[in-house]
Every structure is written in C-alpha cells, then in structure tokens.
Amino acid sequence: MQQDPNTQTPPEQLPLALVYGEAFTEVPLDLYIPPDALEVILEAFEGPLDLLLYLIRKQNIDILDIPVAEITRQYMGYVELMKTVRLELAAEYLVMAAMLAEIKSRMLLPRSAEAEQEEEDPRAELIRRLQEYERFKTAAEDLDGLPRLGRELHVPQIEAPEARARKLLPQVSLEELLLSMAEVLRRADMFESHQVTREALSTRERMSEVLERLKGGGFVAFVALFRAEEGRLGVVVTFMAVLELIKESLVELVQNEPFAPIHVRARAE
C-alpha cells in the first residue's frame, strides 16, 4: 500500500512535562493548582519610604513637587496587593498611608492667600524625609559597588616551603675538655689502691680501642671512654689517645649547648 504524497505527517507532539522520566502530553484531569500558586511579587521594598521613592522614580516625578493624590492612590494599591498575597504588613506602612491621607486632605481644604503664605507646605516634612532617605540609599549603593575583599579582590596566599632549622653547635674549648678530664681523674682517685701494680699501657692500643668504641657512628659521652679502675695512668693514656685521634681528624667533639656534657663521635670518611 502506497502513501499519498500529498498527505502530510502530523508533527510529533512535544511533552508538556517530564515527571520521573515519564513524558506527559496532556494535562491530567485530577491536577490541582492552588489559587495563589502563580501570584508573584516583582519588587521587594525595605520600608514605606523605599516604596514611595520607587513610585516617584518610576514616573520620573520631581521630588519637590509630588502629586500627592496620584502617589497616594498608587501607594494604597501596593498596600492592598501585599494584603492580597497575605504578606504581613509592618505598622510603618500603615502609618505612612495615614500620613499620605492627611497630606492629601490638607491640600484639598480651601485656604486663603494669607494662610497659604503663613502655613508651611503640607508635603514639606515628607519631602525632607524622602530626600534624606534617598541620600543614604544612594550612599549605600555606592559603597556596595566598591570592590570588596573576598568578592572582587582575593589576597593570594602561597605556602612557604618547609624549612628545616640547622642547629649550630658551640665550639668545644680546650678548657672545658680539661675540666671534663679533671672530673674523671677525681673519680679515678677513689679507686687508688695501696698495692702498687704497673701495667703497660699503649697510646696506640688505646686509640684503637676508642675507635672500636665509636665504630657504630653514634655519639658517646667523653667521660664514658675512661675507666676509673685504671687509675690516673689509664685516664692520662685515654686522654692522650683521644687528643691524637682529634689531631688525626678521626674523631670530633660535640656539645649541644655551652657548658653541656661533651660527646665524641667518629668522623665520616
């Protein structure tokens, strides 16, 4: 069966909405729309003076020559609209409405020429308040337009690289080394015996013993290199061995801080 070329295929109907992925091409018969669902307030005012200033600017009216009757009518229209959409009106809106009604009634009352010259314009107080509010509103808008830190301006922050502090160790003086040796000699005197014995001690052998003691590469307390039971002779030989090792740059003396205990460490090759 051939299709008539003059017959046009109806275009595909677009869905009205997608609900959970399902297309709806017709309005459901049981769809309920609340009566206030589509009511929208286009302007938000910060107070009655803000509303009055909006009405004056919208119609390009001279603020010094306000048509009170027309402005009052438009103002009351907005008040009624806000009541209709169930917005809670602040008391100041109603006070301004009463003030406009009073100004309107005073301007409608007949007055003599002399009374008009003596009596102040009923709109004067309202004009003064509007001018003052407009100045502050303009100043606030100008301040809001200035660049603000965190909105238009951002302070760059760069983290500094981690720095490892290098502790400078004090130089070990010969005086402190001698004082440390004197303390060892004092302890050695406590082990002196009345029996005189002599043991051959070699400085070179003691140098080898000290190097063997420092072989691990760690720090060893200077006083720990001495054996008090060897007496003064052993202390002197060990001291001379340490001095020779220092002279030959095989060991080094280290102090963590001035007057702190002295430590010995083998130098790295």
Query: Which CATH number do you get for residue 211?
Result: 1.10.10.580
Which pLDDT does position 183 carry in this prediction? 78
The pTM for the full model equals: 0.39
Collect all residues with Cβ–Cβ distance below 8 Å to 96 and sequence separation of at least 6: 48, 49, 51, 52, 75
Which pLDDT does position 117 carry in this prediction? 63
Residue 39 lies in a domain: yes
Which pLDDT does position 87 carry in this prediction? 57
Q: Is 177 exposed, middle or buried (0-12, 13-18, 19+ CB in 10 A)?
A: middle
For 115-158, write each residue's pLDDT tens digit.
Answer: 566 667 778 888 888 889 888 888 888 888 888 887 788 888 88
Residue 160 lies in a domain: no
CA distances from 57 to 18, 41, 60, 123 (A): 43, 19, 5, 17
Residue 184 lies in a domain: no
- Helices 124-145 and 91-108, interaxial angle, to 10°? 140
Which pLDDT does position 39 carry in this prediction? 47
> What amino acid is encoded at 232 in this protein?
R
Which pLDDT does position 7 carry in this prediction? 53
Sequential pLDDT tens for the chain (269 residues): 444 555 554 556 677 777 777 887 777 777 666 655 544 444 567 788 888 888 888 888 888 888 888 888 888 888 887 766 555 666 787 888 888 888 888 877 776 666 566 667 778 888 888 889 888 888 888 888 888 887 788 888 888 777 777 777 777 777 777 777 777 777 776 665 545 455 567 888 888 888 888 887 788 888 888 887 777 788 888 888 888 888 888 888 888 777 778 888 888 76
Which pLDDT does position 42 carry in this prediction? 46
**Do 134 and 40 lie in a common domain?**
yes
User: Residue written as tokens 């004009």?
Assistant: 127
Q: How many domains does the chain have?
A: 2
Domain housing 239: 203-266
Task: Supply the DSSP symbol for 265.
Answer: E
Residue 3 lies in a domain: no
Which pLDDT does position 85 carry in this prediction? 58
The C-alpha atoms of residue 216 and residue 210 are separated, in whole angstroms, by 12
Query: Which tokens is 137 given?
Result: 């509103």
Residue 244 lies in a domain: yes
**Do 138 and 207 lie in a common domain?**
no
Residue 175 lies in a domain: no
The C-alpha atoms of residue 136 and residue 181 are separated, in whole angstroms, by 85
The C-alpha atoms of residue 26 and residue 16 are separated, in whole angstroms, by 7
